[in-house]
Structure 1
Amino acid sequence: MSPSSTAPRPMRADAARNRRALLDAALEAFKRAGVTASLDDIAKAADVGPGTLYRHFPTRDDLALAVIDDGLLALAELGEKLLTSTKPVAALTEWLEAFIAQAGLFDGLARTLVNPEAGDDTTCKRSKRAGAALLERAVAAGEVRDDIASEDLLDISAAIAWLGDQGGTHAQRARLLTLVLDGLRVPRR
């Protein structure tokens, strides 16, 4: 078999649009009703038929995992973009806010983000590497203490996200993140 025959065919433009619409509709439905949201309602919101949904995502788990993966990819890309910011602590804060929002999206997701499955190429690991790079940059700029490991900061952030599973409010999560970041800042003399 030649290499060209094993390469996946690119997705047609209409199929890519349908997939994007399904992911967006599923994200909104999952936010409202959890991952048990009606798949028929998701298909309607995406303006496609149920057959199109099942062609892209044969099972509910496939759809939920794709929504999570999509969010993690966006988180990784945000972190990579923020590396060019001239304000390292502001960039780290923005990324941590996005991490907490993503980790708090679904019940139990915060735990999964802290301990992703083995493998180096997952979007979860890519997003964690982006966060670690932002922390390293803030430390190198002398704005954040150098005695915190990125894993510890992500564990703390996941714990803040977990509050959403426990009925915590957005204001409470924002206040806790502010306390953590204030504790990390290098004191000005």
Structure 2
Amino acid sequence: MNAPARPLRADAARNRRRVLDAARDAFLRSGVTASLDDIARAAGVGPGTLYRHFPTRDQLVLAVIEDGLRDSAALGAELLQRADPVGALQQWLIDYISQAGVFDGLARSLVALPDGDSAGKDACNAAKGAGAALVQKAVEAGELRADVDINDVLDLAAAIAWVGEQPDRDDGQQSRLVRILLDGLRRTPARGEPATEIT
């Protein structure tokens, strides 16, 4: 049985945070092939410090994914307090999909993280749970169909994220597709009942 990981010292935790932030910015600009030395310089640390925290590029990439998913989970918990459940879900989905804009291929990674990446799986489950809670609130409010499943919603979100990775994409297309997705999930109004629209 492995001993639990020791918590990072405060300075080491700060360095790790700086590397993650710098990596996210670099991946957004240049994709996952961005220079690790440039990332270290942008973070204000030496290459050795970067490699101590993230021995391989893949580990750094997965850590950026995990970080974004945990942010999505936190946003979901915050949006759950909003009075408009479908608007809250729309905002959460746009944020979740924007995680795929960090670098090419993240849309696929959001759906299937490596089996050995337990921390990434935990973060993915946390984000998924936040989305499921938002869906459930919208269903209970009578805004969405009762058969809406978070797995289906996230698969469709991954498809929308994939659209954003295409070189000839329309900048407004992802937002339109999110609105179309949510319109399709709405409960069909009873006869004589006014239909509502997502803004």
> Is the CA contact (8 Å cut-off) linking 1:22 and 1:43 kept in structure 2?
yes
Partner of 1:156: 156
> Is the CA contact (8 Å cut-off) linking 1:116 and 1:125 kept in structure 2?
no
Partner of 1:178: 179
Question: Tell me, which stretches of 5 or more residues in structure 1 are unaligned?
Answer: none
Point out 4+ residue stretches in structure 1 off by more than 4 angstroms.
116-121
TM-score (norm 1): 0.89
Q: CA deviation at 1:175?
A: 1.0
Paired residue type of 2:95: A
TM-score (norm 2): 0.85
Q: CA deviation at 1:169?
A: 3.3
Relative distance call for 1:64 and 1:117 in structure 2 (3 A) is closer
Query: What is the root-mean-square deviation in Å for CA atoms of aligned residues?
Result: 2.2
> Is the CA contact (8 Å cut-off) linking 2:28 and 2:101 kept in structure 1?
no
- Alpha-carbon separation, structure 2, partners of 1:99 and 1:12: 31
Work out the percentage of aligned pairs sharing the same amino acid. 58
- Alpha-carbon separation, structure 2, partners of 1:104 and 1:77: 19
Q: CA deviation at 1:155?
A: 1.3
Q: CA deviation at 1:117?
A: 5.0
Q: Counterpart of 1:122 in 2: which secondary structure? A: helix
Q: CA deviation at 1:184?
A: 2.4
Aligned length: 186
> Is the CA contact (8 Å cut-off) linking 1:104 and 1:162 kept in structure 2?
no
Q: Counterpart of 2:55 in 1: which secondary structure? A: coil
- Indicate yes or no: 2:40 matched with 1:43: yes
Q: CA deviation at 1:7?
A: 4.1
> Is the CA contact (8 Å cut-off) linking 1:79 and 1:134 kept in structure 2?
yes
Question: Tell me, which stretches of 5 or more residues in structure 2 are unaligned?
Answer: 195-199
- Alpha-carbon separation, structure 1, partners of 2:153 and 2:16: 34
Q: Counterpart of 1:30 in 2: which secondary structure? A: helix
* 1:73-152 equivalence runs, <5 A: 73-117=70-114, 122-152=122-152
Q: Counterpart of 2:172 in 1: which secondary structure? A: helix
